[in-house]
Amino acid sequence: MKNPLLADFNMAYDTAPFSKIKNEYFEAAFTEVIAIAKTEIDNIANQKSQPTFANTIEALEFSGEKLDRVSSIFFNLNSAETNEEIQRIAQKVSPWLTDFSNDILLNESLFKRIKAIYQNKDSLNLNPEQHTLLEKKYKSFVRNGANLSQADKEKLREIDKKIASLSLKFGENILAETNAFELVITDEQQLSGLPDGAIESAKAMARDKNIEGWLFTLDYPSYIPLMTYADDRDLRQKMALAFGARSFKNNDQDNQSIVLDIVKLRHKRANLLGYNTHAHFVLEERMAETPEKVNSFLNDLLTKAFPAAQKDFECIKDIAAKDGINQVQKWDGAYYSEKLKKQRFNLDDELLKPYFKLDNVLQGAFTIAQRLYDLKFEEVFNIDKYHDEVTTYKVTDLNDRFIAVLYADFFPRKGKRNGAWMTSYKNQWIKDNNNSRPHISIVCNFTKPTPTKPSLLTFNEVTTLFHEFGHALHGMLANTTYPSLSGTHVYWDFVELPSQVLENWCYEEEALKLFAKHYTTGEIIPIELVDKIKKSANFLEGMATLRQLSFGLLDMAWHAQNPKDINNVKAFETKAFEGTQLYPDVAENCMSTAFSHIFQGGYSSGYYSYKWAEVLDADAFEAFKEKGIFDKETAHKFKTFILSKGGTEKPMDLYQKFRGKAPNPEALLKRAGLL
Q: Is residue 536 part of a domain?
A: yes
User: Last residue of some domain: 86, 116, 142?
Assistant: 142
Q: Once rounded to an integer, what is the mean pLDDT over residues 650-664? A: 94
124 plus 202 within the same structural domain: no
Residue 219 Rama label (left phi>0; alpha psi -120 to 50; beta): beta
Q: Tell me, yes or no, whether 666 lies in a domain.
A: yes
Residue 209 · residue 203 · CB < 8 Å: no
Q: How far apart are CA 196 and CA 203, in angstroms?
A: 10
Residue 202: inside a domain: yes
Nearest-CA neighbor of 481 among 441, 541, 432, 419? 432
Residue 121 sits in the same domain as residue 192: no
Provide mean pLDDT across the span 519-543. 95
pTM for this prediction: 0.94
118 and 188 co-located in one domain: no
Which uninterrupted H or E stretch holds 379?
strand 375-379
Instruction: Please give the average per-residue pLDDT across 453-479, as a whole number.
Output: 97
Per DSSP, which regions of 89-216 are E strands? Answer: 183-185, 214-216
- Cα angle value 343/349/353 (rounded, 5°): 145
In a domain, residue 130? The reply is yes
CATH code where residue 518 lies? 1.10.1370.40
Give 592: exposed, middle or buried? Use CB within 10 Å, 0-12, 13-18, 19+. Answer: buried
CB 256 within 8 A of CB 245: no
Number of structural domains found in the chain: 3
Complete DSSP assignment for 412-433: --TTS-SS-EEEEEE--EEETT
Q: What is the CATH number of the domain that holds 123?
A: 1.20.1050.40
The yes-or-no verdict on residue 603 having pLDDT over 80 is yes
Same domain? 96 vs 193: no
Give the DSSP letter string of 335-367: HHHHHHHHHHHS--HHHHGGG-BHHHHHHHHHH
Strand, helix or coil at 149? Answer: coil
Q: What is the pLDDT of residue 1?
A: 64
In the predicted model, is pLDDT for residue 349 greater than 90? no
The span from the CA of 582 to the CA of 370, in Å, is: 43
| 422-449 tens-digit pLDDT | 999 999 999 999 999 999 999 999 999 9
Ranking 35-44, 257-266, 447-456, 516-525 by mean pLDDT, the lowest is: 447-456
The span from the CA of 429 to the CA of 184, in Å, is: 50
| pLDDT tops 80 at residue 675 | no
Do 122 and 186 lie in one domain? The reply is: no
Check: CB of residue 645 under 8 Å from CB of residue 481: no
**pLDDT for the residue 664:** 85
408 three-state secondary structure: strand
Residue 598: inside a domain, yes or no? no
Domain that holds residue 424: 354-540+610-672
Together in a domain, 363 and 417: yes
In a domain, 549, yes or no: no
Whether residues 102 and 189 share a domain: the answer is no
* pLDDT at position 672 over 90: no
In this prediction, residue 396 carries a pLDDT of 98
Residue 669: pLDDT over 90: no
Tell me what the mean pLDDT of segment 339-350 comes to: 93
Co-location of 404 and 458 in the same domain: yes
DSSP string, 165-192: HHHHHHHHHHHHHHHH--EEE--GGGGT
Same domain membership, residue 648 and residue 530: yes
Sequence-ordered list of residues with C-beta below 8 angstroms from that of 300, at least 6 positions apart, any chain: none
Per the document, the length of the chain is 675
Q: Average of pLDDT values for 265-271?
A: 98
Last residue of a domain, one of 199, 228, 244: 244
Residue 147 amino acid letter: N
- Of 244, 264, 296, the last residue of a domain is 244
**Cβ count near 168 (within 10 Å):** 17
- Catalytic amino acids? 468
Residue 189 resides in a domain:
yes
Residues 364 and 496 in one domain: yes
pLDDT band at 59 (very low <50, low <70, confident <90, very high): very high
Q: Is 374 in the same domain as 457?
A: yes
Is pLDDT of 673 > 90?
no
The crossing angle, in degrees rounded to 10, of helices 84-105 and 65-80 is: 140
Instruction: Please give the pLDDT value at position 400.
Output: 97
Residue 288 lies in a domain: no
How much is the pLDDT for 346? 93
Which range (238-247, 396-405, 476-485, 665-674) has the least confidence?
Answer: 665-674
DSSP β-bridge partners for residue 436 = 429
On whether both 123 and 192 belong to a single domain, the answer is no
Count of CB atoms within 10 A of residue 328's CB? Answer: 20
Main-chain dihedrals φ then ψ at residue 298, nearest 5 degrees: -65, -45
